[in-house]
Amino acid sequence: MIGLCTLALHVAAVRAATPAPVISGDPTAERVVSLVTAGDGQLTSYIVPLHIVARVHELFTFHVKLDGTVYFKRPGRVALDMHLVPQEYRRMFAALGTPLLWSQTYEFSTDSVTHEPRTWYHLRGTPRAANGPIALVLLDVPEDRSEPMMARWTCADGTSITERVFAGSDGTYSMPHRAEVELTVDGAHVHADLQYGDYALNGELSDSVFAGS
């Protein structure tokens, strides 16, 4: 169960720090998703350390601290290296993907658009590949790109995951620097605070890093 608290650590809302295109009118779901990562065409890879402090509420409440590393490489690779997390859960983590991979991983439709007090686009995504660990993802994408994006995941085994990502600029890109995750699995509730370290961007990254992911 502790491994499951890492499944949504990285809905990595990687976005350009330069002003993003404005989402206006009623664009298609695919266009909304593409605008989430507008300007990221030059980002080919990254490595980032990740520190997690989790509170697990079941019969008793206990605290868990985890440290690991997240790897991303185009065209479609993402992996988590974190001790104490079983390999099967690392594979599920990869199935969640990142915004840079969402268009090729999920098929999206627009559930609704709300305008009070600010405009939000509510999207529904289903995996393009059948029989995977993820059954459904719901995205709340703000028109105001300074607002955090919300993601709610439903896994095939009934696990539910909600994540809110807070980004910060490194001068070139706007990368996730902190996130809050709520996870419910097997009658237990997990709250996890995620802290990202310094990103290493666009470096050489061996395919062996992703073996088994």
Q: Categorize the per-residue pLDDT at 12 as very low, low, confident or very high, splitting at 50, 70 and 90.
A: very low
Average pLDDT (113-130) is 89
Q: Where are any strands of DSSP class E within the chain?
A: 15-16, 45-57, 61-73, 77-82, 106-114, 120-127, 134-142, 150-155, 160-169, 173-185, 188-196, 200-201
So where are the chain's domains?
A: 3-198
Domain 3-198 has CATH 3.30.930.10: no
Residue 23 burial class via C-beta count within 10 angstroms: exposed 0-12, middle 13-18, buried 19 and up: buried
Q: What is the pLDDT of residues 40-57, one digit of tens each?
A: 778 889 999 999 998 988
Please tell me the pTM assigned to this model.
Answer: 0.78
Whether residue 59 has pLDDT greater than 80: no
The SS3 call for residue 171 is coil
